[in-house]
Amino acid sequence: MAEQIVIGSAASTAALDQRAAMLEHRSAVLEQQVAALTEAIRTLTAALRDAPADRPDNDRAIAAARRAHEILLDAELASRRAG
């Protein structure tokens, strides 16, 4: 990324367009990752919130943890496909 850009040249316009496209792609990937993390956290907190306070509900927590893990794995796979 140490290239020089001469303002006003066709090369500078192309380089700026390329960088803008790269940043848009990176932004989209980050948005997908944040959405996946949000869904995973919601899954975990819903399971923990609904569990009785006097005893841990291991089955529900285990299922929620497994689902959250699947959400994150799916997001990672989608991110690799897009990248």
Can you give the three-state secondary structure of 36-71, one letter per residue? HHHHHHHHHHHHHHHCCCCCCCHHHHHHHHHHHHHH
pTM of the model: 0.62
Is 55 part of a structural domain of the chain? yes
Is 50 part of a structural domain of the chain? yes
Residue 5, SS3 per DSSP: coil
Q: Which helix (H) or strand (E) holds 13?
A: helix 10-50
Domain that holds residue 76: 25-82
Q: What domain count does the chain have?
A: 1
Is 31 part of a structural domain of the chain? yes
- The per-residue pLDDT for range 1-59, each reduced to its tens digit, is 455 555 666 668 888 889 999 999 999 988 988 998 898 888 888 877 766 666 665 77
* Separation between Cα atoms, residue 13 and residue 15, nearest integer Å: 5
Is 1 part of a structural domain of the chain? no
Is 8 part of a structural domain of the chain? no
